[in-house]
Structure 1
């Protein structure tokens, strides 16, 4: 069943748990994410990034239609989210393609430009019923403004949310995009201070590199929406590699894509169960 992103995030926040948001690149990703959510019996958010749209020749409609169809036919609540959108044109296509939310990413711009561009996007998004996330204090794992080691200042975050009207805020607290090892250590004290400073849900990007105990502690400290991407790709690629290594004559892609889909579904189910464990937010 297709649900608004904001409802899934709000329910997780009220329960003291985390809402799992997983990156979709192919149809198999979307199928696996929903299968994993159904196995866990928990809501889930399907995320399609601007990079994924670029991979699909810049066409949002086909992959969005597939993800929406999979969401509608699911037995658990599923939301559609357009992630890391820098293009205003792409942002403005979201509502028409069934997305309930967009992460508008102006984090590489100077602060004042980030505020102005994000506030304008929020006004347009709210007019079409979108829940809008943005980012402040760039998350690591990318070039330039996304350099590792950057942290979000709580005072600046409070001013930014007030000035932009965003519905959720992705913050830099020690995670990094595209990590292949789960070695990240988060600043839980900073997460707690951000939670007290900011009235909207906090979002953790780059969660694939964060160990289970760190994720649980992050949710306990105040994180709500937890984004996971690289972990799925690692499961996908590992399963494909193992299947092809086991049969040099195999040419039917259904055989190795089926194993990849199963592996990703297991990763999703385990992650959702971990994130949904109720925790008490101190303070």
Structure 2
């Protein structure tokens, strides 16, 4: 089917108490793996690209690639700009055919974040494209954005932020981090419930790579409607490629290690979809 927006997907997840898995893709193999996993589990899915990914491959290329693969699928597929770094990039993505965007103004102070987010959200709404934003700082490193994971989202601020910007979903900080964790992450899951009581729009969990299944399930139970996975997919992909070369260092056909990578990423995505509870929800 053609690409769909994330709006219905996330509202349905919010209503029924599960989360949509949102998976970052770097290339054709990862796109195929993610959509094959969704198809097999009959799950709705969001495919995401970060600013560094689109700098590498362009929004037009990823939009064409994901649209072509989604057309063959029977499940809803949404293409989302993850951590959009500017108003301009968000507009480029929408123009290229992305069906959901995020503007990340979390590095700015509260009022500046609101101003930038509202600017993107207003245009997105006029074009019927959902807009995600981030309040508080999710630690670790995502592209060029680096943050300490010590500024968890204030529930009262989250309510004001969502109302003043008009975003359709909100990423909140509860102690997660981007990338793999150096130690054991300590999550403020109680904060998810508090924010959920104050904020009407679906909530988003960033930095889920490396969290235990129970931690993810607990966050979903308390109100997270979208869960992002990026680092662990890159890890699975790269390990599969390395294993192919370890078995035969003379491999020269990219299709050989591409197939191994697709299989590894697909298995991981299916596993994470089940943890999020979105299997069978398409």
d(CA) in 2 for partners of 1:125 and 1:115?
15
Query: Does the aligned pair in 2 maintain the 1:176–1:209 contact within 8 Å?
Result: no
d(CA) in 1 for partners of 2:158 and 2:197?
11
* TM score, norm. by length of structure 2: 0.93
Per-residue CA deviation, residues 138-166 of structure 1 (Å, 9 max, x unaligned), is 11103887212220000111111111111
Counterpart in 2 of 1:20?
Answer: 21
Query: Does the aligned pair in 2 maintain the 1:175–1:209 contact within 8 Å?
Result: no
* RMSD across aligned positions (CA): 1.7
The 1:144–1:21 alpha-carbon spacing in structure 2 relative to 1, beyond 3 Å, is: closer
d(CA) in 1 for partners of 2:182 and 2:146?
22
Aligned length: 276
Per-residue CA deviation, residues 85-130 of structure 1 (Å, 9 max, x unaligned), is 1122221122332222101111111211111111111111111111
Per-residue CA deviation, residues 228-278 of structure 1 (Å, 9 max, x unaligned), is 111111110111111111101111111011100110001111111121169
Counterpart in 2 of 1:245?
Answer: 246
Counterpart in 2 of 1:70?
Answer: 69
Extract unaligned runs of 5+ from structure 2. none
d(CA) in 1 for partners of 2:146 and 2:230?
21
Secondary structure at 2:55 match in 1:
helix
* TM score, norm. by length of structure 1: 0.93
d(CA) in 2 for partners of 1:107 and 1:145?
11
Query: Does the aligned pair in 2 maintain the 1:183–1:209 contact within 8 Å?
Result: no
Extract unaligned runs of 5+ from structure 1. 279-283
Counterpart in 2 of 1:211?
Answer: 212
d(CA) in 2 for partners of 1:185 and 1:204?
14
Secondary structure at 1:42 match in 2:
coil
Counterpart in 2 of 1:173?
Answer: 174
